[in-house]
Structure 1
Amino acid sequence: MSEIKISSTGWLAIYLRNGNVGMFDLNDTSSWQYLQVESIEKQSKDVNNDLNYLNRNLIKFSPNGEFLVVNGQNEQLYIYIQSNFEKSEVWWKLQRIICVKNFISAMDLNNEFLLIADKSGDIYKIDLLFNNTTTTNNNNLMMTAENCIMRHLSMLLDIAFIRINDKKSFILTADQYEKIQLIQYLNTSHSGKYCLGHTEFVSHIKLIDNNHILSASGDGTLRLWHLPDCIPLVLLHSKALTLSSKQIFYTQLYDSNSSLSLEDYQQDTMSQESSLDLSSTLDYSIWKMDVASYNSINSNVYIAFSIYAHRLHSIYLTSLSNIKQLINEQRQLIFDISYGTIIDYCFPSKDILFNDYTIYSKCNLYILFDSYVILNINIISILLSDQTKLFVKPNQTIQEINNILASRDIHLMNYNIKTDEIVFQQLFKNSNNNSCHKRKLEIVEQQQQQQQQQQQQIKKQMLSSQSDNEIQLT
């Protein structure tokens, strides 16, 4: 699920809990717009904790920043295009509405087309370069079998389009049954290759560069792969990262005049994190992950991730070089409860990082809380810092966005459908059921083998006894 994204042109998109999207220009906060996606009444239907009726909140920009795709809860996708009019209060215009039959579980897009995966495992392709006019009620597009380019037997949790070189392009899929599949684009009938090794559902695949991806799974592991040969390069369990990380406490509303000391105030929040029982696979499963990659795997790659047990107030930071060399230079960011709980976080687009002259000293992570407060944190300085307590103030741009969000009373329109949490729990439930089923099959097979061995033993005894009788008769 993604509820905050930053485009290559500097637009910040926030999926609001009333079903709409807030758009903010990070270069000019006076330029902001609300995209009316759907009404709250349409979202409030009872999902009954069923994967078949869960749409994941997804927002995504095209690499060039011209297109924005929003997935709501009403079986519709909304495609927006950035306006070319310089003096306009409408910076994003609705281009087309895509109607789907099944609920959408994942999507990705390039500058030419959009790929969406539904809960049944089908992948559809939608052309983005059609007539760039605003939509009407008559030009909504209904997904049909003609748009389907690939079918899977399981629900897909993440997909990505990757171009290895000028001649070869691939579609990556991550599914609920432990597999990452690499299929050559335009030759999707071919079975493709697999990145195998995860033991639970694969929740995230992130591109490092054209030949490397990082995957995260419900089994709690992060894995680095080389493409297109699907060779595993690095495997690390989140337990190794979380237990060795240095803790940094972030505070915002602590009152220095309070009778409660900062140390006690800090302990109250941090104890909520450390008191959890990290005993199950679910607790260590990767809840969210994002990657900041400057250019190639030889440059430093920064990773932000959360585990299920500490998803509400903590984000772990590390780098790919730390993981590869096992340096154990991780940081656990623990946020003051006054911020609220973490909804989502993301790094800026790779183009923003690469074009910024400060990329080797500055890499911001943008964090969205359910209080509709946004923070941006320079994680390079955090990884280099030995401080344990930090007082954070958003920069002027982010503070202006926070003021706009507060003035609109967004939090008052909050609806409480925790889609990803339901998805995670259902996936683990299904996994456990499958494990029980596999175990039952193993027990049956063992019993059958034992019966066969017993029958063979009895047969041998009978033959041996028969042979002895024949000797006695002679």
Structure 2
Amino acid sequence: MATIFFAEPELVVGHGRRVLFVNPDDLQIFKEIELPPDLATCGLKVPEPGSCPATGPGPGQEQQPAAAGGAAKQREATASGSGSAAEVAVQNVSYSPDGQLLAVTTSGAQKALLLYRARPEHARLLSARPLARAASALRFCSDSSSVLVTDKTGDCYQYDCVEVEAAPRLLLGHLSVVYDILWSEDQQHIITCDRDDKIRVTNYPATFDIHSYCLGHREFVSGLALLTDRHIASASGDKTLRIWNFIEGKELLVHELPAPAMRMQVRELETDKVFQAAMLLYDYEDALALFHLERSGRESWAINLTQLVRADAGAWNICNFTLTANRIYVTGAVNERLELRVYDSATGIPSKGVPEGWLKMVLEGLHALPDADGNCVNFQPEDLSVWFKKRFDNVSDYLERKKRRIEEQQQQKSN
């Protein structure tokens, strides 16, 4: 996984065991994080074989016995602490809303949530807590007091950022992988989307109570964005961008996309009214699509396509991107090596304003370029095709067998 996002004034890029915080306008590296080969050296405590990592009750909940299948999950969590520690890699990175904390999840041999004090210190590690499964999404609450982590099995855990060694709380669960998660500004609702086409709005702190569903997508929902205190945008593999009133579970607008949307980012241009949304499209001649979202009334929205960006689609394996005011930073792979390219968001062509040597500096900082001995960190992007559901046509096989059976019966009668 190569993670990338922009948090003024820093462009944050994670790859392998390194995270770089760089100035996109000059050759300055604000700070950097390098994970040790073995996370046990920074305080990660791997559960003993046969034991379960401590999980506290969710807010407003009493401690419950482990659900069926929980033991299997914990055995996998234990196994994740074994094997080659060199496989540890950065998976997700996120800043808290106040910019003081940084959360990093890791994949590979040791799956963990690492919490750092980002400012004013130089990324000081506060805690390292094991994850039950590989993380799929990461989100801080609005007051930065806790962070939510969802995993590949659909479970969502809350990690305290004040009591940094506290056990995680299992808040809610889906029956399939959760691709994105939001937490409303008033912290009254947690909004999640999954591979089974669903957007769920869960009450908080009483997370046993589902407030509403936003139903209508026909494929996985890959991304969510909070627009106002009652409106969200969603992108999906069914080639649609939709706007919802999540409080009422009501669909307000559907906009057709040229291809399935695998990732989405939204920038607020005018508070609660005008937004810029960008989609990473799957297997399409134009890799990125930019849209203008505008609210014209209490429940009225308009979506207009503003730019299609080819981003050299087809020439490399694009996996992620981020937006700034006038550029799009795109990551991908060429011959199993990380590649970073920059495009102008207004024209869609390669940006000419990037300082000379900037791209090389970033890639060298991530150990993505061969050193004197020819060594570098390899990069194999996630296979996004597995996000799509496999559909089986059993009816055709049945009709073919029935046809043969009737023909055989008729032949027997004629004989």
TM-score when normalising by structure 1: 0.62
- State whether structure 2 residue 387 is matched by structure 1 residue 427: yes
Deviations 1:78-119 (A, max 9, x none): 21211425xxxxx21112112012221222113111001122
Distance 1:82 1:194, change over 3 A: same
Q: Deviations over 1:202-241 (max 9, x none)?
A: 11111122221111112111111113112111112212xx
| Mapped contact 1:206–1:213 kept (Cα < 8 A) | yes
Tell me which residue corresponds to 1:108: 139
User: Aligned pair 1:332/2:308, yes or no?
Assistant: yes
In the superposition, relative to structure 1, how do residues 224 and 82 fare at CA in structure 2: closer, same or farther (>3 Å)? Answer: same
Q: Does 1:84 align with 2:47?
A: no
* Greater fraction helix: 1
2:227 and 2:105 map into 1 onto residues whose CA distance is 25
Structure 1 position 393 matched with structure 2 position 362: no
CA deviation profile, 1:409-434 (whole Å, cap 9, x unmatched): 52332324322x2xx33332xx225x
- Segments of 5+ residues of structure 2 without an aligned counterpart are 39-83, 371-375, 400-415
Return the offset for 1:436: 5.2
Which amino acid is the alignment partner of residue 198 of structure 1? H
Is the Cα contact below 8 Å between 1:372 and 1:411 reproduced in 2? no
1:8-157 equivalences under 5 Å are 8=8, 10-16=9-15, 18-25=16-23, 29-37=27-35, 39=37, 42=85, 44=87, 57-73=91-107, 74-85=110-121, 91-110=122-141, 111-130=144-163, 143=168, 147-157=169-179
Q: Is the 8 A contact 2:327 2:342 kept in 1?
A: no
**In 2, Cα distance between the equivalents of 1:197 and 1:337?**
30
Counterparts of 2:208 and 2:160 in 1: how far apart (Å)? 20
Q: Write the distance in 2 (CA, Å) between the matches of 1:116 and 1:204.
A: 15
Measured against aligned partners, the alpha-carbon deviations of 1:426-469 in whole angstroms (never above 9, x if no partner) come to 332xx225x658x79xx99xxxxxxxxxxxxxxxxxxxxxxxxx
Query: 1:108-159 CA deviation, whole Å, 9 max, x = no partner?
Result: 113111001122222111111237xxxxxxx6x664xxx1122333321111
Are 1:158 and 1:204, in contact at CA under 8 Å, matched by a contact in 2? yes
> What amino acid does structure 1 have at the position aligned with 2:151?
D
Number of residue pairs aligned between Structure 1 and Structure 2: 336
Q: In structure 1, how many angstroms separate the alpha carbons of the residues matched to 2:11 and 2:128?
A: 21
Offset of residue 325 of structure 1: 4.8
Give the match for residue 282 of structure 2.
308
SS at match of 2:390: helix
Cα distance 1:169–1:154, how it changes in 2: closer, same or farther (>3 A)? same
Amino acid in structure 2 at the alignment position of 1:411 = L
The corresponding residue for 2:321 is 345
CA distance in 1, matches of 2:10, 2:350: 27
CA RMSD of aligned residues (A): 3.5
Counterparts of 1:238 and 1:29, CA distance in 2: 37
Could you say which structure has the larger radius of gyration?
Answer: 1
Query: Who is 1:272 aligned against?
Result: none
Indicate whether 1:405 and 2:362 are aligned.
Answer: yes
Shift of 1:162: 0.9
Query: How far off its partner does 1:296 sit?
Result: 3.4
Deviation of 1:183 (Å): 1.0
Distance in 2 (CA, whole Å) between partners of 1:372 and 1:4 is: 12
Q: 1:373 to 1:156 in 2, by over 3 A?
A: closer
Distance 1:373 1:339, change over 3 A: farther
Deviations 1:4-35 (A, max 9, x none): 11224x2221012x232112245875443331
What is the rounded CA distance, in whole Å, between the counterparts of 1:58 and 1:296 in structure 2?
27
Structure of higher RCO (CA pairs closer than 8 Å, 6+ residues apart):
1
2:274 maps to 1:296: no
- How far apart are 1:333 and its partner, in Å? 1.4
Structure 1 residues 407 and 125: alpha-carbon distance in aligned structure 2, compared to 1, 3 A threshold? closer
8 Å Cα contact 1:38/1:72 also seen in 2 = no
Q: 1:115 to 1:436 in 2, by over 3 A?
A: farther
Quote the Cα distance in structure 2 between the aligned partners of 1:112 and 1:149: 15
Flag the 1:400–1:161 CA change in 2: closer, same or farther, 3 A.
farther
Give the TM-score normalised by the residue count of structure 2. Answer: 0.70
Q: Quick one: distance in 1 between partners of 2:364 and 2:219?
A: 43
Matched, 1:222 2:241: yes
1:77 is displaced (CA, Å) by 1.7
The amino acid of 2:225's aligned partner reads: K
> In the aligned structure 1, how far is the partner of 2:36 from the partner of 2:309?
34
Question: Does the 8 A contact of 2:292 with 2:303 survive in 1?
Answer: no
Residues 336-384 of structure 1, C-alpha deviations (whole Å, 9 max, x = no match): 4899553421135xxxxxxxxxxxxx5443333545434263x3x44xx
Distance in 2, matches of 1:116 and 1:2, equals 18
Q: Is the strand fraction higher in 1 or 2?
A: 2
1:53-87 CA distance string (max 9 Å, x none)? xx9921111112211111221311221211425xx
Q: Relative to structure 1, is the Cα distance of residues 406 and 65 closer, same or farther in structure 2, using a 3 angstrom cutoff? A: same
Amino acid at match of 1:375: V
Which residue in the other structure is 2:57 paired with? none
User: Per-residue deviation at 1:310?
Assistant: 2.7
Whether the 8 Å CA contact 2:195–2:221 is kept in 1: the answer is yes
